[in-house]
Amino acid sequence: MDSHTLIFRAHSSSRYSLAALVGVIETDHRLTEIAIEAPIEVSMNTIQKSVAKGPTILAHSVMSTQTDRIYKEVREVRERFENSVTIIGGGPHASARPMELLENGFDYVVIGEGEQTFPELLWHLMNDKDPIEINGVVGETTQDCPIPRDLAPVDIDAHPPFALGMNIVGPIEVTRGCPYSCKFCCTPFLTGGRVRNRSIDSVVHWLTQAVEKSGFDRTWFLSPNALSYGGRGRTVEEDRVEGLLKAVTKVEGLKEVFFGSFPSEVRPEFVTRPILEMMKEYVANKTLQIGLQSSSNRVLKLANRHHSVEEGLEAISAALDCDFIPHVDMIFGLPGETEKELHESIDLCYSLAEMGAKTHGHVFMPLPGSAYENEEPGRLDTESRKLLGELSRKKLLTGSWSTQESMAENLSSRKL
């Protein structure tokens, strides 16, 4: 077997999945011969050196907002190195548009969760076997492309959450999958409606290792709805959340635990004063990330959000009463939103600021894989941009809303 090099094209938007995938590869005894590189910038020189040494695999995690840049890079690599580099794609956009990746120069695409499929694909490449025989890998000769829900769900406990060997660490994903079907979100398409939780034992195991090997002294968690940890996603699981927090705060050497703050989120109807009082006993975060999304019950209903504006405001009040600063996710320009409703959502951001909360603002993007993928992109009018800009300058609004408007247009134009 030739010694292979795997170059991960890292990007800030895919760093968490990179940490988990590198972790899986470095703990797979079949792949000990592979040399892994994950530089911030992959230059042609890096690839050239690797090609000179032996077979080279270049892996990209493809987000829908990154495709122009990635396809350009892939075309350049293809022109320069022809078939001496095998190019693999995975991630949200790859799962939703695998054929588009192949048309743009990728050799293979990993559909859905990568923990099992990706190492299997590497092993096949290292042993001159055809990766197309792997369920979840798509290539030039694939007849029927699977979609993520056709594939067996990964047991997240069976895999490391990050890569301690290469010291690529990040938040620990404690919950995967979501039973809700918000139409703007592609999580249900990508990871399914069945919720899987990383067990407390597994979280403690990896945190203990991270403290010992990487000098970790604080931790964050990834969950689409942190307060449902331990259950099936539809109910608050106070005992299980407390069990997790109690166990992780006992990990020796770990000084701070962040829970329910970015990059996690909580659904408003899960927020209660008792659970926040309990959390305060354990967590270091001063903020709570609450997904409200709109000030219009009509728009929330259209988006299949399954909670009301009133529940959102109640959650924000509860968080403030318990001394958390609510960071409230809002999406401007959701399908069906009228100009009046857009302005009311922005007015609400100003009211939130007066209450002591902050807004995390987004402009609606029709993401491939979401139920809204064929809808018009979110658009702001001049007045809305001005008002949001003012909030941003006062540091009462964060988020990528200002760049998402053009990203959303770009996504939409590529569907034509």
Given the rule CB under 6 A, which residues bind ligand SF4? 178, 180-182, 185, 187-188, 224-225, 267
* Burial zone of 156 (CB within 10 Å; 0-12 exposed, 13-18 middle, 19+ buried): buried
Instruction: Label residue 259 left, alpha or beta by phi (over 0 means left) and psi (-120 to 50 means alpha).
Output: beta
Question: Do 376 and 414 form a contact (C-beta atoms < 8 A)?
Answer: no
Which residue has 């007045």 as its token pair? Answer: 383
Min dist CB 64 to ligand SF4, Å, is: 15
Min dist CB 267 to ligand SF4, Å, is: 6
Alpha helical stretches, state H, 260-338: 273-280, 297-302, 309-321
Nearer to ligand SF4, 119 or 224 (CB): 224
Min dist CB 287 to ligand SF4, Å, is: 18
Nearer to ligand SF4, 287 or 304 (CB): 304
What is the spatial distance between Cα 340 and Cα 336, in angstroms, rounded to a whole number? Answer: 11
Nearer to ligand SF4, 66 or 225 (CB): 225
Question: Do 322 and 280 form a contact (C-beta atoms < 8 A)?
Answer: yes
Nearer to ligand SF4, 190 or 207 (CB): 190
Nearer to ligand SF4, 190 or 357 (CB): 190
Min dist CB 54 to ligand SF4, Å, is: 41
Min dist CB 171 to ligand SF4, Å, is: 16
What is the spatial distance between Cα 108 and Cα 41, in angstroms, rounded to a whole number? Answer: 22
Min dist CB 382 to ligand SF4, Å, is: 29
Nearer to ligand SF4, 331 or 380 (CB): 331
Nearer to ligand SF4, 78 or 183 (CB): 183
What is the spatial distance between Cα 128 and Cα 359, in angstroms, rounded to a whole number? Answer: 51
Picking from 268, 228, 263, the residue whose alpha carbon sits closest to that of residue 244 is 228
The H or E element spanning position 110 is strand 108-110
What is the spatial distance between Cα 172 and Cα 204, in angstroms, rounded to a whole number? Answer: 10
The H or E element spanning position 103 is helix 98-103
Min dist CB 144 to ligand SF4, Å, is: 27
Min dist CB 305 to ligand SF4, Å, is: 7
Which residue has 């990154």 as its token pair? Answer: 66
Nearer to ligand SF4, 106 or 184 (CB): 184
Picking from 236, 273, 237, 242, the residue whose alpha carbon sits closest to that of residue 257 is 242
